Amino acid sequence: MSLTGNRQMMNEGKSNSILVSGESGAGKTETTKLLMRYLAFLGGRSGTGGRTVEQQVLESNPVLEAFGNAKTVRNNNSSRFGKFVELQFDKSGKISGAAIRTYLLERSRVCQTSSPERNYHCFYFLCSAPSEDIKKYKLGDPSSFHYLNQSSCIRVDGINDAEEYLATRNAMDMVGITEEEQEAIFRVVAAVLHLGNISFAKGTEADSSVIKDAKSRFHLNTAGELLMCDCEKLENALIKREINTPEGVITTTVGPNSATVSRDGFAKQIYSRLFDWLVNRINASIGQDPSSDKLIGVLDIYGFESFKTNSFEQLCINFTNEKLQQHFNQNVFKMEQEEYTREQINWSYIEFVDNQDVLDLIEKKPGGIIALLDEACMFPKSTHETLSQKLYEKFKNHKRFAKPKLSRTAFTIQHYAGDVIYQSDHFLDKNKDYVVAEHQELLNASRCSFVSVLFPPAPEENTKSSKSSSIATRFKMQLHELMETLSSTEPHYIRCVKPNSVLKPAIFENTNVLQQLRCSGVLEAIRISCAGYPTRKLFHDFLHRFRILAPEILKEKNDDKTTCQKVLDKIGLEGYQIGRTKVFLRAGQMAELDARRTEVRNTAARGVQSQLRTHVAREQFLILRNASVCLQSFVRARLACKLHGFLRQQAAALKIQKNIRRYFARRTYSQLCLSAITLQTGLRTMAARNEFNSRNQNKASIHIQSRWRRHRDNLSYIKLKRAALTYQCAWRGRVARRELRQLKMAARDTQALKVAKEKLEERVEELMSRLSLEKKLRTDLEKSKATEISKLQSALHDMEQRVEEAAAMKENESAKKAVEEALAQEREKISSLTSEIEGLKVLLVAEREENDVTKKAHSNAQERNEELNRKVQDADEMIKQLNDIVKRLEETVREGEALLLTEKQQNEEASAALAESHLRDQAFAIKIEEAEKQITLLQENVERFEYSMADLQSSLTIEKQQHEASVVELAEAQGKIEELLREVGDADEKSTLLQTTVQRLEERLTENDTLSTTERQESEATKKLLNEVQSKNEELLKKLEDSGKNIVHYQDTTQRLEESVAAVEISLKAERQQNDVVMKQLADAQVEIVELQRNLEGADKRNSLLQDSLQ
């Protein structure tokens, strides 16, 4: 379609227009982009600043889509404005300028959006901008703004708002919008969002309003900062009005609803001015060519819309589509058939649906819907109900107008694409274009030049507080201008058909598609195209174009009509018709004529080309022949020069070969002489070397025998040392067994731990003494090594002297060489011996480091022993504290006795129970005395307990009415029983510790192979004793549990005293836990000492191995 329009413009010099129409979401905007891209490809001319005009035109689409497109129910990228792009061409067919005209931006969408639609794209792009822009404009998530969160749809699949924001900025750069202007544009867009978040509340006075809360105040201040105007004046412009009267200017306040309406009107006015500025700025950047008389216009306007709720915008949009449909009908049906009649050709008239009555219903003046709407807007008291009643009365008999049954404000219009129900609730508000004087003055005084340009000062005659104009009337005038422009061009129509209503590929709804084709007149257009004559040419134009098909007919002197008839007859076309002034051709016949014309022109061109090629080929042949003669003479000269050079090279080669043969013969002879001399010297050297080696072997055997004797003596010394060590181990085992018997004898005494610690210290001292002995042995070994090294050095010195003497005796040169080689071998042996000595030194250093490690471990063990001593001292202090606690308990018993004296009541049952418990306690005390003979410290506590119990029994027999005191005494007895249980537990722990020490001693004894059977029997006897002690302790525990069960029924009455004793018990438990920790640390220290002993024994073994290796 673009190519056809361009060819027609270039061939016939006529302006063309391409009208893209269809339902909303059918693909009109995308089709327009493809058309513009192809037209820009056909003719491009560089513009100012290095940018081409076609690039600027194409990049204007993303800018206008960002600010004029939005998501609707039927389309994710629906155009909410009309656009007519005029591409101007010069005489050569290059683009020389362009202009964009826009129609009826849907301003109400800025403030009102229904779900699941969205507001204009630019708002969402800006909310997804980089973080620095978000921070600069104080924006956030789109759902936090009132103008964006009215719909549940925030994001659309397939649209990345962040990427689109950057693409829009790049497109602005391409169309010539500077960085400062872009900054101002998005600052205004952000200000509109902040204006929408300003809420109003009722003021103290009647019909007044104030800013609702701090959040609204923040958005008010932010909007003022972005618009660079005074925030206080902005607030007054929203909540106050100035009325001009003859007496002066009166300032009044408005209510919250009126303030909200004023805010929305202010936001719509700002956005509308911004959109108009963008269009003008793009046109100014692209530029127009006033000298151009040819253009191609591309119309992309909103498609036919029918939603659940249709308002003023849908009426204007559908009115536009009715206008375009009428233009289509006039060009395709009316004008076509009228021309057939005017030219008097055979033709049968084709009926079509005319929509003129719908246009009269909407735009007729007076009496149309738009006229009635403007009339209602002029009356302040008019409402949407009165408007609806006027429409019902005026058009009740109109065939295209109907009133729904269940509504008082809706009406139905039968459009060419179907019936649409309109709701007139907001018709009056949307038709009024309010320009409040306070808003105009406020933004005109802005410190930002961009904002002040958007709101220039109003003319002097408009001195009212606000001016109201009709949007419908202004839109009707714009449409009239558009129709005039289209009528002056040759139209081409593109019908976009929407395949389905779910916006998904590979789905084709037959019924819906057929309805679109039928309503848009496509079927009638196809019918008339098939039956009619779409191509027509004037006689003169036809002959001028196709005269080359029959040049002999033009020589005849006939009129144009007859000549055309003869040309067509000669060509053999059928179905054409000749009118009064034009030739009418069927569809495809014009293409056939063009093909034949092209064939004739191609045949003539081929003849001309063949003659021209013949001439060029002859000229080239002559040039090549002259060039070949010159080339042949030059080649012959070159060949003769090469032959002369070859002969000279051959003679020189013969001389070179003769000299080379002589050189090789002389070199071979000299090599043979040198080889004979070398063999003779080698044989003499071999004989001298053999004699020298025999002498060296004799010396080495003597040296080896001396070394072997020393090694044998050293082995005997090592065996003696090992025997001494085994004897020492047996002696230590005997000492350890003695210690075991002493530990068994002291198992019942707590002081045994201290004695064991002292013995362990003695053992540590013994280990230290052993370490000192080992040091002495090591020093002795080092001394012996030093002496050996000195002996080796002296031997080496002697051998060197002998070698020197032998060298002096040798006079022959070959013998000297042999002696030097022998000296070199001896030196290698000496170096190997020195390297072995150095390795032994390294081993000595490693042993010293291991000894240092053992010393450090020994020092750590001493430190741990000191810590254990401290912990033992702490345990002694804890025992003292426990004795203090026992004394305190005795004092509490005495206080209980005083309470017994003061009480005068008697309880026989309690006394009997107390007597029984006393008898049980006595029996239990006897058993405890038998079990605790080994623990002397606890006997004192048991005796005190028995004395206190005896005193309590005597006091109970004297005073029988002392129930509460007896309960206290029972509580004390229970507490002491628990203490005894703990003491028994301590005894068990001590016995377990003793058992562990016995096991460790047994392990040490088992390592010695000389353990006697008597000592094993003694260890088994100690084990049996320990087992008997544990069994007795278990029996005592069982008896204590039985006695505790008998005292359970007294616990309810003794809770008061148990709470006082609970704290003491907790402290005692803590002290016992600390004692247990100390005992465990002592056991760990013992284990560490054993490990040290093992390490020392390992060090002894390594030292012995080192001594063996040194020997």
H or E element, residue 616: helix 589-745
Cβ-contact 172, 56 below 8 angstroms? no
Q: Token match 């009109």: residue?
A: 28
Exposure of 75 by Cβ count < 10 A (0-12 exposed, 13-18 middle, 19+ buried)? Answer: buried
Cβ-contact 425, 387 below 8 angstroms? no
| Pairing mode, strands 16-22 and 294-300 | parallel
Residues 6+ apart with CB under 8 A from 575: 586, 589
- From the list 483, 485, 492, the residue with the least C-alpha distance to 19 is 492
DSSP conformational letter for 747: T
CB burial string 682-693: b at 16+ within 10 A, e below:
eebbeebbeebe
Give the span between the Cα atoms of 823 and 826, in whole angstroms.
Answer: 5
29 is known to lie in a ligand binding site? yes
For residue 1055, what are its two tokens? 């809770």
203 is known to lie in a ligand binding site? no
Q: H helices within 50-142, ranges in order?
A: 53-68, 121-127, 131-137
The total of other beta-carbon atoms located within 10 Å of residue 192's CB is 26
Cβ-contact 19, 329 below 8 angstroms? no
* DSSP-assigned states of every residue in 823-856: HHHHHHHHHHHHHHHHHHHHHHHHHHHHHHHHHH
Give the span between the Cα atoms of 475 and 196, in whole angstroms.
Answer: 27
For residue 808, what are its two tokens? 């002096």
- From the list 164, 219, 167, the residue with the least C-alpha distance to 195 is 219
24 is known to lie in a ligand binding site? yes
> Secondary structure of 250-285 in the HEC alphabet?
EEEECCHHHHHHHHHHHHHHHHHHHHHHHHHHHHHH
779 is known to lie in a ligand binding site? no
Provide the angle, in degrees to the nearest 10, between the axes of the packed helices 936-958 and 813-902.
Answer: 10
Provide the angle, in degrees to the nearest 10, between the axes of the packed helices 231-239 and 437-444.
Answer: 170
Residues 6+ apart with CB under 8 A from 1025: 744, 747
DSSP conformational letter for 151: S
Give the span between the Cα atoms of 180 and 184, in whole angstroms.
Answer: 6
The total of other beta-carbon atoms located within 10 Å of residue 1068's CB is 18
Cα 606 from chain centre: 67
1015 is known to lie in a ligand binding site? no
645 is known to lie in a ligand binding site? no
- What is the rounded radius of gyration, in angstroms, for the C-alpha atoms of the chain? 62
- From the list 99, 83, 89, the residue with the least C-alpha distance to 42 is 89
- From the list 103, 42, 100, 450, the residue with the least C-alpha distance to 286 is 100
Residues 6+ apart with CB under 8 A from 746: 752, 755
Give the span between the Cα atoms of 528 and 331, in whole angstroms.
Answer: 12
| Binding-site residue set for ATP | 22-29
| Binding-site residue set | 22-29
